[in-house]
Amino acid sequence: MKWLVLLGFVGLVACATSPEGRRQLMLLPDSQMDQMGVQAFEEMKQKDKISTNAADNAFVKCVANAITGALDEKRNWEVVVFDDPNVNAFALPGGKIGVLSGILKVTANADQLGAVLGHEVGHVIARHGAERASAQLLEQGGLSVLGSVLASPGTPKYQLLMAGLGLGTQYGIAMPHSRTQETEADRMGLQLMARAGFDPQQAVELWKNMDKASGGSPPEWLSDHPSNANRIADLQAHMAEALEIARATPRKANCRR
């Protein structure tokens, strides 16, 4: 029966192409993903403590604005710093960025935070959340269940769908990005931080810091693959292009703590 349900949605399945030319399953339009991202973000703001540290807020918003300002599509992004010791950050469709204050202890400077946020925004631009949410919808029965799922916060199906956006930590469900999605976001983030006027070489230093902070284990805010060493090697392999972009880009923001 499950397979009959899935086959019934074959005609509705749409495909997209990632920035690196990979075929992606897309059941949800960008407008629906934006709505889901806004809904999830509003829930987080209501239940999680928001930081009142003026210096942290100014610093994070300075870096985030530089990153989003380098995007081709111009929109107003909402940036919130959450008072949480966990090492985590995320970006959501609908123009939302969340930074947990714990990550500021691992990022040594604005360039390294730029690497973090460039990576997270890269997931959004590459539509990785839509790709994962589409897979979850197929498992749950297709688009016909979307309305009922979104209307039922707190249920397992709702939590699974929200975790597909990249909020696994917040919803208590481990749903890491795939190795391919992580690598795509790394490469997009490297170019994005260079276009924003940050030093792309600091992305490598960030991962060295992450490796030390986690005792050689992957940090909570990203999946358990690729390994830190492989991630650094791939960043270095694409560094020449990013440095060329950086050389042609004046530093856009003087972000300091």
Q: Where are the alpha helices (DSSP H) in 100-227?
A: 110-125, 128-140, 146-150, 156-164, 168-171, 179-195, 202-213
Assess contact for 106 and 209: CB atoms under 8 A.
yes
Question: What secondary structure letter does DSSP report for 151?
Answer: T
* Cα–Cα distance, 224 to 219 (Å, whole number): 8
CA distances from 218 to 115, 129, 207, 229 (A): 16, 21, 10, 10
Assess contact for 209 and 107: CB atoms under 8 A.
yes
- Catalytic residue numbers, as ranges: 120
Assess contact for 142 and 8: CB atoms under 8 A.
yes
Q: Give the number of other Cβ atoms within 10 Å of residue 234's Cβ.
A: 16
| First-last CA distance in the chain | 57
